[in-house]
Amino acid sequence: MGHTPWPFIAHWCRHRSRYVPWPFALWRTAVPVWSRVALLLLVLTSSARGDDPEVVPVFVPRQDGFASIRIPAVVVTNGGALLAFAEGRQRNADQARNRIILKRSTDGGRSWGQVTVIAEAGDRSLNNPCAVVERTTGTVLVMYQSYPAGVAERSDRIVPGYEGELVVRNWLITSLDEGQTWTSPRDITRQTKRPERVTTLAGGPGIGIQLRQGPHAGRLLMPFNEGPFGLWNIYAVYSDDRGATWSLGEVAPGALVDGANGRRTSQVNEAQLVELRDGSVRFNARRWSGQAVRKTCVSADGGQTWSKVTDVPELADPSCMASIIRQDDLADGGRTRWLFSGPQSTKRENGTVLLSTDDGETWPVKRVLCPGSFAYSCLVPLPDGTIGCLYEAEGTSQIVFVRFTLGWLTEETESKKPTRN
């Protein structure tokens, strides 16, 4: 472990009161240096062992002004603020005059501010917040789609193309101040949607990524699926100019198959992206049909083309959005880990976190985060080395945030039930 300046340790301990059994003032005035060292070792040992995850409610319908709140996404800004996004719905339906809403946390997810509406479009429904932080500038980018007023995603009233009230549009908003203010929406439909055949359109939901390695380092990538309903293909849109303009990648081959009834159907739906060590990119997609496991494919050219869609046997999927992230541990020699969260059951329950250290080839470590109801989720690596998970709990009746350590995840003891604030 590298050198950690004492001011940082003091700040860390001050905000980790559940690990420090006396007031912080005593640290500065009454604790000799040798005792500080001993305390530091105790704190770090406690973190290494792994502590019980702590659940904090974030979005609560009615209380936060909406009949239903669903579809979580979360990112951490360059300054360390957590931004949690969701759909604020007027009723419990996918298209219900939804708004895109936000809450911020400046203490690592232990508390959250008031709900803010960051995008609305009258009677049209806004769906699928998908966020990414551009590392160089710190700009936060959020894509979402707008659906025709009073029209559900499965409706055959939705038409292809770019013009008219019955097309699905793709929008982008950005923030330059850690999510405190946002630009007016910019219509990027023509850059991110094919003109023929495509009716439905969905980004993520969840997060995009920015490539770190290879010839496309710095590229922003957003995951998408396109319809018609039930005939989805997955693809990426990408930007090499920090989000000023966007290009459309090819769809992954093999997504469409013959169903049990002989009709054409799709294997995939909502999807997320993760970067491999060599700079190539892997899709991790929700299963729509076929074996009840996650679906995947790989791009060697920065998301422009993809290998054929295949199964991920180790990751069960009852047909639910899930999350996958890469964590580079600088304190562990830059070791790369992938973390996955999703319901490991035949139902949307038994929310489990799995860990891979070989670019997703195997998932030898797993632990139940929430044994009960667990639907859509979004993982985020936090600045202090812990991991956060924003997920739909209690039958999607609320969205909560939980943070856990790698020590907790890798403990060989029986899973501990998270404690609620």
List the domain range (segments joined by +) for residue 15: 1-49
Q: Tell me how far apart the alpha carbons of residues 22 and 391 are, in angstroms, rounded to a whole number.
A: 33
Q: Tell me how far apart the alpha carbons of residues 17 and 37 are, in angstroms, rounded to a whole number.
A: 17
Same domain as 72, residue 127: yes
Same domain as 405, residue 271: yes
Same domain as 99, residue 27: no
Nearest to 384 by CA among 51, 102, 132: 51
Find the helix or strand (DSSP H, E) in which 352 lies: strand 349-356
Is the backbone peptide bond immediately before 381 cis, with ω within 30 degrees of 0? Answer: no
Same domain as 132, residue 32: no
**Could you list the active site residues?**
94, 270, 376
Q: Tell me how far apart the alpha carbons of residues 406 and 420 are, in angstroms, rounded to a whole number.
A: 20
Number of domains in the chain: 2
Same domain as 368, residue 281: yes
Place of tokens 């009230």: 165
Angle in degrees, 0-180, between the axes of helices 33-49 and 6-14, rounded to the nearest 10: 60
Mean pLDDT by 10 residues, the chain (421 residues): 35 33 35 37 41 92 97 99 98 96 98 98 98 98 98 96 97 99 99 97 98 97 98 99 98 95 95 97 98 98 99 98 92 84 98 98 97 98 96 94 96 56 60
Q: What is the DSSP letter of 214?
A: S
Taking only the tens place, the pLDDT of each residue in 27-50 is 333 334 433 333 333 334 444 445
Same domain as 318, residue 376: yes
Place of tokens 């469409």: 256
Same domain as 167, residue 35: no
Q: Tell me how far apart the alpha carbons of residues 126 and 168 are, in angstroms, rounded to a whole number.
A: 10
Taking only the tens place, the pLDDT of each residue in 181-223 is 999 999 999 999 999 999 999 999 999 999 999 999 999 999 9
Same domain as 92, residue 41: no
Q: Tell me how far apart the alpha carbons of residues 248 and 114 are, in angstroms, rounded to a whole number.
A: 36
Q: Tell me how far apart the alpha carbons of residues 390 and 403 are, in angstroms, rounded to a whole number.
A: 9
Q: Tell me how far apart the alpha carbons of residues 150 and 95 are, in angstroms, rounded to a whole number.
A: 7
User: Residue type at 106?
Assistant: T
Find the helix or strand (DSSP H, E) in which 374 lies: strand 365-381
- Please report, to the nearest 10 degrees, the dihedral formed by the alpha carbons of residues 400, 175, 149, 398 taken in order: 10
Nearest to 153 by CA among 95, 98, 222, 225: 95
Same domain as 39, residue 78: no
Same domain as 342, residue 253: yes
Those residues with Cβ within 8 angstroms of residue 395's Cβ, 6 or more apart along the chain or in another chain? 373
For residues 77 and 134, is the Cβ–Cβ distance under 8 A? no
- Give the predicted TM-score (pTM) of the model: 0.86
At residue 31, the pLDDT reads: 37
Which strands, in side-by-side order, build the sheet including 169-175? 186-187, 169-175, 140-147, 125-133, 206-207
Same domain as 249, residue 110: yes
At residue 330, the pLDDT reads: 65
3-state secondary structure 106-142: CCCCCCCCCCEEEECCCCCEEEEEEEEECCCCCCEEE
Provide the CATH number for the domain around residue 160: 2.120.10.10
Same domain as 167, residue 45: no
> 3-state class of 45 per DSSP?
helix
For residues 381 and 325, is the Cβ–Cβ distance under 8 A? yes
For residues 294 and 287, is the Cβ–Cβ distance under 8 A? yes
Half-sphere CA count of 119, side-chain side, radius 13 A:
31
